[in-house]
Amino acid sequence: MPMPRVDFYVLASADPAARLRFACRLVEKAWLREHRVRVQLDPGGDGAAFDDLLWTFADRSFVPHERLAASGGPPGEAAPVVIAEGDDKGAGDRDMLVNLAGSVPAGYLGYARIAEVVDADDQRRKSGRDRFRFYREQGIEPQTHEMGDDS
């Protein structure tokens, strides 16, 4: 299997809500291009907030999705987007990973594409640098996209 394409989207804002809104737009765009997406969050983190926001971030949008239990469990067969808080299974039938977690999820090599969303919060920026370094150590050359204030 070829190495995944890894893109880092670096936001100018430290607002956690801006980070989640950007991720919603990224997920919507991927879904419209018929990708099957896994959104990875840290356990006990922003899973519920991201789930709610994915329903409401834009009046015109509808992104069919489901939230996996923190304890894992098999992804739903019908939902093209799953929100996961546990580092349970790998890609399964997903081709894109949107990582909002603080570390690289297990099974990352099972995805064709990985999108890392990093905002200006000091801790999240530091963990983003650590993930960037990890990918490079694995022989993957991540691409960086500096996003403006209006991400």
Q: What is the pLDDT of residue 66?
A: 86
Q: How many angstroms separate the Cα of 116 from the Cα of each of 18, 20, 60, 76, 146?
A: 14, 12, 25, 23, 12
pLDDT at 150: 55
For 57, how many CA atoms within 13 A lie in the half-sphere containing its CB? 20
User: What percent of the chain lies above the pLDDT cut of 70?
Assistant: 86
Strand partners, 23: none
- pLDDT tens sequence across 80-139: 999 888 766 655 668 999 999 999 988 899 999 999 999 999 999 999 999 999 999 999
- Determine the pLDDT at residue 56: 80
* Stretch (H or E) spanning 82: strand 81-84
pLDDT value, residue 70: 47
Rounded to the nearest 5 degrees, what angle is found at the Cα of 116, between the Cα atoms of 59 and 122?
Answer: 100
Domains of the chain (ranges; CATH) run: 5-146 (3.40.50.10110)
Distances (CA, A) of 54 to 39, 81, 119, 134: 11, 10, 19, 29
Please state the pTM of the whole predicted model.
0.88
